[in-house]
Amino acid sequence: MRTQAVLTLALWLAVRASSQEAATHPTHAECSFSDGSRITVTYSLDPKGYRFVTDGSLVTVKGMRVPAGAYSLAPAKGSDNNWTLTMKKKIMEKGLLVVLPLLPMSTTTPAAASGFPVFFDHTGGSCTMHWPENKDTVLSLEFTKENADLPVVN
């Protein structure tokens, strides 16, 4: 009986500790533009990993177009030692997977982190996404709202 009580107490403490830990670590990062549209990156422990959602069309600082929608994200280091971000979007009604061209990311040294692996800086009309790759490298990619009057590179 005493062993059962000790095991029950240990299980209760473990569940309580894990729920407190989950509550202290954010599961998403968000950046809003002046028109109310926003970018959200969420993380889940299931195989989906990081999910990037935007409710408005965006353009990266390199001129690459990112249509509105929900994407899975994966940064990768190429053979040339440059970092890129792969963005994939599943189109449910057609059963297709759309993969955007590789988006070049810049690298910087770490800045103050938000507690969530991905965080944003909002400066003027842009949102810069920061992705800490390791303790020495932070990957960054700047997004702006798509301006219908300006041509974009596809």
Query: Which pLDDT score, from 0 to 100, does residue 114 have?
Result: 54
Rounded Cα–Cα distance for residues 29 and 39 (Å): 8
- Whole domain around residue 118: which residue ranges? 27-145
What total number of domains does the chain contain? 1
Mean pLDDT for 96-125 is 81
In terms of DSSP bridges, do strands 106-108 and 137-145 run parallel, antiparallel, or are they unpaired? antiparallel
Query: Longest Cα pair distance anywhere in the chain, in angstroms?
Result: 75
pLDDT tens for 8-31 read 434 444 445 444 444 455 588 999
**Between these two residues, 150 and 51, which has the higher pLDDT value?**
51
pTM: 0.72
In a domain, 36, yes or no: yes
In a domain, 153, yes or no: no
The residues, any chain, with a CB within 8 Å of residue 84's CB and separated by 6 or more, are 75, 76, 78, 102, 103, 104, 105
In a domain, 154, yes or no: no
Residue 63: band (very low, low, confident or very high) from pLDDT cuts 50, 70, 90? confident
Mean pLDDT for 44-48 is 65
In a domain, 12, yes or no: no
In a domain, 21, yes or no: no
C-alpha dihedral over 38, 141, 138, 88, to 10 degrees?
80
